[in-house]
Structure 1
Amino acid sequence: MTLSTSVRQRPTFSPLDLQRRPLIWKIGAVFFGSLFLALSSYIEVPMIPVPVTMQTFAVALVGALYGWRLGGATIAAWLLEGAFGLPVLAGGAAGAHHFVGPTAGYLFAFPIAGMAMGWLAERGWNGHRPGLAFVGMLISNMLCLAVGAAWLAALIGLGQAVMAGIVPFLAGAVLKAALGALTLRLMAREPRPAAK
């Protein structure tokens, strides 16, 4: 088996295969990815001080499908849209003041979490290995919770931050990680057969 044959047989980390697409595809991916992130923000369960949304699911999925570079850029573009007044944050919220309030830590964690999942997906923690994809999605969700709670701790103290900013979201993190891994598995393409 030659090197070129083994490369053709190796599955790409994402069914979208964006790393090999032209620039116009990547620009379109950023647009549609930020739209997907915005739509996920409207699916929420109100809680105090931070609502439960599908944002962490969407952030991890964008990272897994886009890779760490393009995923991070897409998530950053979505946050900039929110900071500049577009109603794309949780429940249609908008404005720069959200980046200094109780939810700021979670917002700043999103690019980190998405890029972490993208980095793992590029190394095989993707739909071709759903168990690893689940662990990667869970790590992504836990990064959001940890960074968000660290910011919250500066406002309300560590104990309250853990009880209000982590504990209520743990079951949801596991469910969203499982849903993300299942989504990646359903989207995974099999390796291309070698040319004869």
Structure 2
Amino acid sequence: MHTSSNRTRDLALTATFAAFIAVLGLVPAFSPFGFPVPITLQSLGVMVVGAVLGPRRAAAAVLFFLLLVALGLPLLAGGRGGLGVFAGPSAGYLLGFPVAAAVIGALVYRRGAPYQLGHGLVATVIGGIIALYAIGVPVTAWRAGISLPAAMSGSALFLVGDLAKAVLAAVVAGAVHRADPRLLPSRAPVDTSAVPV
């Protein structure tokens, strides 16, 4: 019964946070200086999902969101959807979303409760910026037909905004974890009995 209850809760969290990412797609996207990858708020959603749900549930929520997009639902910023978006210049970022969420979740959950803002911010930067860019930038270069340095230079336009999103995501995750401390695993107490005095 307990396992069934946990599974139901996991499914509810997965669906809720997939919807959260979708809602952020209602904010219009824009492409600075004609760069082929638009700036959207949905990467903020991925960061929050990772920091709140942990690696397994966060990846599941993002994959569920991407499945709905692949099925044609216009859930991406600008009302985009369908398989075609996975062949465009943004494809690497989309495919990197579940990886970013999983990396953030793994780092946050590895530390466990209580949630610490500084650690949450570092985890969000590592997963939501470094890991995401590592996948997104090369695919942008490939799909847009531009050089890797040009893709890196263009992606630098996102950096300040993504750092601001990382800070906001870390703060939001902290508020969620304070409201529901059960989301984070308890940190095992350190055994000091074997330490010589």
TM-score category (smaller protein): 0.7 to 0.9
**One-letter amino acid matched to 1:183:** V
Tell me, what secondary structure is at the counterpart of 1:49?
A: coil
Query: 2 CA distance for matches of 1:178 and 1:127?
Result: 18
Unaligned runs of 5+ in 2: 183-197
1:162 aligns to what? 152
Match of 2:10 among 26, 34, 55: 26
Tell me, what secondary structure is at the counterpart of 2:73?
A: coil
- Cα distance change, pair 83–43 in 1 and its aligned pair in 2 (3 A): same
TM-score with structure 1 setting the length = 0.81
**One-letter amino acid matched to 1:158:** L
Tell me, what secondary structure is at the counterpart of 2:120?
A: helix
Deviation readout 1:35-64 (Å, 9 max, x if unpaired): 111111222441031111111111111111
Deviation readout 1:71-110 (Å, 9 max, x if unpaired): 1111001001001101111222111010011010000000
- Cα distance change, pair 46–163 in 1 and its aligned pair in 2 (3 A): same
1:187 aligns to what? 176
Q: Is 1:152 aligned with 2:153?
A: no
State the Cα distance separating 1:21 from its structure 2 match. Answer: 5.2
**Contact 1:126–1:181 (CA under 8 A) maintained in structure 2:** no
Aligned length: 173
1:85 aligns to what? 72
Query: With CA pairs under 8 Å and 6+ residues apart, which has the higher RCO, 1 or 2?
Result: 1
Please tell me the root mean square deviation across aligned C-alpha atoms, in Å: 2.2
State the Cα distance separating 1:126 from its structure 2 match. Answer: 7.5
State the Cα distance separating 1:127 from its structure 2 match. Answer: 6.7
* Percentage of pairs with the same residue: 33
Deviation readout 1:99-137 (Å, 9 max, x if unpaired): 011010000000000000110111127772111111111
2:87 aligns to what? 100
Query: 1 CA distance for matches of 2:134 and 2:95?
Result: 11
**One-letter amino acid matched to 2:24:** S
Unaligned runs of 5+ in 1: 1-18
